[in-house]
Structure 1
Amino acid sequence: MSDISEPPRINRSSLQELIGGLSDGIILLNPDGGIAWANVSALDMHRVSDVEELGADTKEYRRLFTLRYRNNHLLEEGQYPLERLLAGETIDDVTVEISPTSDLDLVWVHTMRSMIISDGTGKADVLALILRDETPRFEAEERFERSFNANPAPGLICRLDDHRFIRVNEGFLEMTGFTKEDVVGKTVEAIGLFSNCETGEDALTKLGDGRVIRHREALVPLPDGGDRLVIVAGEPISVVEEPCMLFTFADLDARRKAQNALRQSEERFSKSFRLSPAPAAVSRLDDFVFTEANDAFLQVSGYSVTEITGRTASDLRLWEDVAARRALEQKLRDNAFVRNEPLRMRQKDGGTADCLVSAERVEINDEQCVIWALQDVTERRRSEAQLVEAIESVMADTSWFSRSIVDRLATLKHQSTAAPTARLMELSDREREILGLICNGQSDAEMGETLHLSKNTIRNHIASLYGKIGVNRRAAAVIWARERGFTGTADPKANSKAKK
C-alpha cells in the first residue's frame, strides 16, 4: 500500500450548494470550455431560467449574447470574459453591457471578475466567473445624466481626486459662452471658479475635503474676458463609483445689471435733484417726514439740511394755512397728485414766501415717498399787486380817460392777476343787481336804500359776489364786470340779461 496519499479533490456538489444562494451571479466553466453550472442569480441576470439557455460552451454563449464596453465598443471573439477566463487570464472588475443577440434593444450592465480554484496539485479544477448586476445603478446614473444635461440650471461635475471637470451641461455653456471642450478636462483652478469669490479659499478647502460647499456669490470668468455674477454651491456625489462634486449655479448677472442701472438712475436723479434751481424736497408718505431737500429749497425756507431732514412740515410750521397743508397730504395719501396749489411758506427768519406747490407719490428704495416741487412766486405776486394798485389808482377817476384806455387798463389788470373767472350767467339775480350798483358807484348804504335791504344783508351779498368772481375790492369787481361788457345801469334788474 502506497504511503503517498492522493490530493483531495473538490466536491463540486458541495461547492454548488454553497454558492447557489449567493446574490452575486456565479458561472462555473469546465477546462474544456463547457458551461458546467450557473446559480439562480446568474440566470436571473441573463433573463433566462435554465443553464442550457446560456449556451453549451463559450462559443455558443458569444453567439447568444452580445457584449459591449461602456464606450459602446463591441467585444470581439476572444475578448468575452468567459473566453479570457478559459485562456487563464485574471479578470478584475470588467464592466460590460449585455444584450440578447435576438433583442439588442434590451440592455443590462454586469461587472465581472474571475476566480480560479485549484486542486491539491495546483491544477485548475474550477473556473468561476463572478457577476454583479449593475443595471439599476447605471440606469439611475443615466437618468441623472439625462436630467443633468437637460436641466436649464447651469451645472458642472468635477472629480475629487484631481479637481478636473468631467461633465458640463448646456445651462452652464449658455450662461458663460464656454464650449464643452473649454471646460471638460480643465481643473477648478484653471477655470477660475472661485478666483473672484470672497470665500474662495474656504470653498477650495471644502472641495479638497469632499465636503458640502454652501452657496456663495462668485464672479465666474468668461472666455471674452468679462465675468458673470452667480451663486454657486457644491454637493458631493458619486459618478460611476467615482467621488465627484456637483456644482450648481444661479445666474445673478441680470440682477447685477438691474442694480447697476438702478444705481446709475438714482445717481442721475440725485444730481439733478440737488442741482435743480427749483426748490424741491422728498418726504416719506406714511408720516411726511422730510428725507432730502435741495439747495434751492433750503435757500427759500432759510433752514439747513440738518434742520429739515427728519422733521415734518407740521414740526417746522412751514405753511401758514394748516388746513390747506392737511388737505394736500390727504390728497397724496389718496394717490392723487398736487399741481400748483398756492401756499404761503413761513421762513426760518420770520418772513414769508408765496409758493405754488406741486407734489406726487414715488417709490424710492422700495419705500413710498413724496416729491415736493415749489415755485417761489413772491416777487411776481408783489409786482402784480403793485401793478393792480397803480391801475386802480388811475381808474379811480375814469373821466380823464377814453373808454378804450379804460378797457385796456382793465385787460392789463386781468392779465396780471390769477383770479378765477366766472360767467355772468352763473351769478344770481341779486348778485347781478349788487354788481350793477357797484359799477354805478353806490355805497353799501345807498345799495340798501335802492334794494330795500339792511346793511348786513348787502354786505353778505357783496361777500358772496366777491367769492364767485375772485376779487376782494370794489375796483376789482368793476374791472371784472367791464371786461365782460357789464357796466351797470339805472335799473339794476335790466342787467340780468347781460351776457358775457
Structure 2
Amino acid sequence: MTKTSGKPLHAPTLHHLEQLMAGLLEGVILMDPTGIILSANPAALKMHGVRAVEDLGETADDYATRFRLRYRDRRALPRREYPLMRLLAGESFPDLIVEVAPVDADEPRWVHQVRDIVMDEDGGEPDCLGLVINDVSERFDAEDRFEAMFHANPAPALIIRVADQRYVLVNQGFLDLSGYGREQIIGKTLFDLDFLAQVERKAFVKDRVVNGQTVPQLEAELPLANGDTTLVILAGQPIEVANQDCVLFTFADLEPRRRAEHALKASERHFASVFEMAPVAMVVTRGEDNRIVQVNAAFKALTGYADAAVIDRVADDLQLWNDAAQRQGLETEIRDRGGFRGLDVQLLHRNGEPLDCLVSAERISIDGDPCVLWLYQDISARRRGELELVEAIDAVMKDANWLSRSIMD
C-alpha cells in the first residue's frame, strides 16, 4: 500500500489531536486515507502491549502482519475484515468486538470494542481516519468466568433476557433435567417454549420476569421434551449478562421426592391393610411414654378392649401388663437397641384374666413420626396345654411309683 497521502493533515492539527488523545482513557489510532498509521495515544499502545506507534506497524497492512484478530466465537478475522482495513474501505462498524493477540501468541491477550471515526474539513473526502478502542478484556473475562461457572454448576439453570424474554444461556443440568437440546432452547422466547406454563401464580411470575424482578421460590410442573412433566421448585434472580438485564432461574428437581412420598404412602396403605388383617395382636405406640395410637382387630379380640378405650392411652392407664416393671425394662430395651424379639410376658384381659404372650417390638416410622410396633402372640392355650401335659406326666409318674411299690411288696 502506498504511503503517499492525497491531502496531508496539517502538522498543527495533528499535534492538537495528539494532545487531546493523550488524556483519553480510550485508545485512539489515527490513520490517513492511504492507510499510513499517523499516531496512537498511550492507551492504544498499552492495549496492544507496545511502547511506540512504530510497533503497531507503519501501515494498516503492516498492522495486520503483527497482530492476529478473531471474533468472540473464535473465528479468525480475514485481513480485509480487520477494523483498520474496513475503515480504509469506508465501512462503519459501531461497537465491534474483537479479540487481539500478537501474531506469535497462542491465545488472545485483549478484547477490544472498537468503533470508527471519519474526519474531514469541509464534508468532502476524509482527511483523517480514527479507530477508537475500549479495552473490555476484564468485562469479558468476568463474563467468561461466569459462563464457565454457570455451565459447570450441576444445579439446573437457565437465563432469560428481560428485554425480549428470550433464553440466552442454559446449562447442562437443565438440559439433563428437561431432555431438551441446547439448540432447542437458546434464542426461543417464553411464548415459544414456556417452561413457566405450569408454575404456581403464573401471571405473577411472568410479570416479575418482564420487570426483571426477583421470583420467590415456587413449585411448578416443568414440561419435558418427551411430553411429560416433572415437579420442580424454581426461583429467579435478576442479574446482568453482557450488559443486558436478565433473570437467572434455578431449578431443584422434586420428582424423586414426590415418587418417594407416593411410594411411602403406598407402603403405609399396605402396612395399614396388613396391620388390620393380621391374626396376631398388634399395637402402635408413639412418644416417650409409648402412648397407644393404633390397635388391630386381633388385639381387640385378645384383650376385650375397643378402640375408644385404648387410643391415646398408655399401658399403665389400662393396667394392660401384669408386670409393669417388666414393661418399663422392655421400653428401655427399645430405646437402647431399637427392639427385641419373642419374650415371655403376661398381659391382662379387660376382665382381669391373665394372658400369656410372646411379645416382639420394633421402632418404625409412620407419616414421618417415630413409633413402636408391638406384636403379641397369644400362647395361653399352649401354656395351658404344657401345664396339662406336665400334670399328666406327674400323674403317670405317681402311678408308676405306686405300681413299683406294689410289685416290690
TM-score, with length taken from structure 1: 0.71
Q: Which residue of 2 aligns with 1:361?
A: 362
Amino acid corresponding to residue 267 of structure 1 in structure 2: R
In the alignment, the residues of structure 1 paired with residue 345 and residue 118 of structure 2 have an alpha-carbon distance, to the nearest angstrom, of 107
| 1:417-473 deviations in Å (ceiling 9; x for gaps) | xxxxxxxxxxxxxxxxxxxxxxx9xxxxxxxxxxxxxxxxxxxxxxxxxxxxxxxxx
* Alignment pair present for 1:241 and 2:243: yes
In the alignment, the residues of structure 1 paired with residue 111 and residue 325 of structure 2 have an alpha-carbon distance, to the nearest angstrom, of 87
How far 1:282 sits from its partner (Å)?
A: 0.9
- Secondary structure at 1:11's aligned position in 2? helix
Contact 1:31 1:127 in 2 (8 A): yes
Which of 23, 30, 38 does residue 32 from structure 2 map onto? 30
Q: Summarize the alignment of residues 192-203 of structure 1 with structure 2, pairs less than 5 Å apart.
A: 192-203=194-205
Q: Summarize the alignment of residues 454-473 of structure 1 with structure 2, pairs less than 5 Å apart.
A: none
| 1:132-184 deviations in Å (ceiling 9; x for gaps) | 11111112222222222233222222322232223222222223332223322
Contact 2:357 2:380 in 1 (8 A): no
Q: Summarize the alignment of residues 6-85 of structure 1 with structure 2, pairs less than 5 Å apart.
A: 11-85=13-87
Higher mean alpha-carbon deviation, 267-276 vs 194-203, is at 194-203
Contact 1:281 1:371 in 2 (8 A): yes
In the alignment, the residues of structure 1 paired with residue 123 and residue 223 of structure 2 have an alpha-carbon distance, to the nearest angstrom, of 67
The structure where strand makes up a greater share of residues is: 2
Give the unaligned 5+ runs of structure 2. Answer: 1-9
Q: 1:46 to 1:330 in 2, by over 3 A?
A: closer
- Secondary structure at 1:61's aligned position in 2? helix
Q: 1:52 to 1:375 in 2, by over 3 A?
A: same
In the alignment, the residues of structure 2 paired with residue 255 and residue 115 of structure 1 have an alpha-carbon distance, to the nearest angstrom, of 61
C-alpha root-mean-square deviation of aligned residues, in Å? 3.1
In the alignment, the residues of structure 2 paired with residue 344 and residue 241 of structure 1 have an alpha-carbon distance, to the nearest angstrom, of 78
Q: 1:339 to 1:387 in 2, by over 3 A?
A: closer
In the alignment, the residues of structure 2 paired with residue 191 and residue 352 of structure 1 have an alpha-carbon distance, to the nearest angstrom, of 73
| 1:88-112 deviations in Å (ceiling 9; x for gaps) | 3333111112222232433421111
In the alignment, the residues of structure 2 paired with residue 238 and residue 344 of structure 1 have an alpha-carbon distance, to the nearest angstrom, of 72
Which of 328, 342, 351 does residue 339 from structure 1 map onto? 342
In the alignment, the residues of structure 1 paired with residue 91 and residue 347 of structure 2 have an alpha-carbon distance, to the nearest angstrom, of 106
In the alignment, the residues of structure 2 paired with residue 380 and residue 250 of structure 1 have an alpha-carbon distance, to the nearest angstrom, of 58
Give the unaligned 5+ runs of structure 1. Answer: 1-7, 404-439, 441-488, 491-500
Contact 2:222 2:231 in 1 (8 A): yes
TM-score, with length taken from structure 2: 0.85
In the alignment, the residues of structure 1 paired with residue 329 and residue 141 of structure 2 have an alpha-carbon distance, to the nearest angstrom, of 73
How far 1:43 sits from its partner (Å)?
A: 0.5
The structure where helix makes up a greater share of residues is: 1
Amino acid corresponding to residue 180 of structure 2 in structure 1: F
Identity of aligned residues (%): 38
Q: 1:106 to 1:327 in 2, by over 3 A?
A: closer
Q: Which residue of 2 aligns with 1:146?
A: 148
| 1:45-99 deviations in Å (ceiling 9; x for gaps) | 1111101111122222222222222233333344322233233333311111222
* Alignment pair present for 1:352 and 2:325: no
In the alignment, the residues of structure 2 paired with residue 140 and residue 204 of structure 1 have an alpha-carbon distance, to the nearest angstrom, of 29
Q: 1:192 to 1:356 in 2, by over 3 A?
A: farther
Contact 1:97 1:110 in 2 (8 A): yes
How far 1:28 sits from its partner (Å)?
A: 1.4
Amino acid corresponding to residue 341 of structure 1 in structure 2: D
In the alignment, the residues of structure 2 paired with residue 288 and residue 11 of structure 1 have an alpha-carbon distance, to the nearest angstrom, of 98
Q: Which residue of 2 aligns with 1:171?
A: 173
How far 1:287 sits from its partner (Å)?
A: 1.0
Contact 1:95 1:112 in 2 (8 A): yes
In the alignment, the residues of structure 1 paired with residue 347 and residue 69 of structure 2 have an alpha-carbon distance, to the nearest angstrom, of 96
The structure showing larger relative contact order (alpha-carbon pairs under 8 Å, at least 6 residues apart) is: 2
Contact 1:154 1:249 in 2 (8 A): yes
Q: Which residue of 1 aligns with 2:279?
A: 277
- Secondary structure at 1:245's aligned position in 2? strand
Amino acid corresponding to residue 325 of structure 1 in structure 2: R
How far 1:121 sits from its partner (Å)?
A: 6.4
Which of 313, 316, 319 does residue 317 from structure 1 map onto? 319
- Size of the alignment, in residue pairs? 396
- Secondary structure at 1:337's aligned position in 2? strand
Q: Which has the larger radius of gyration?
A: 1
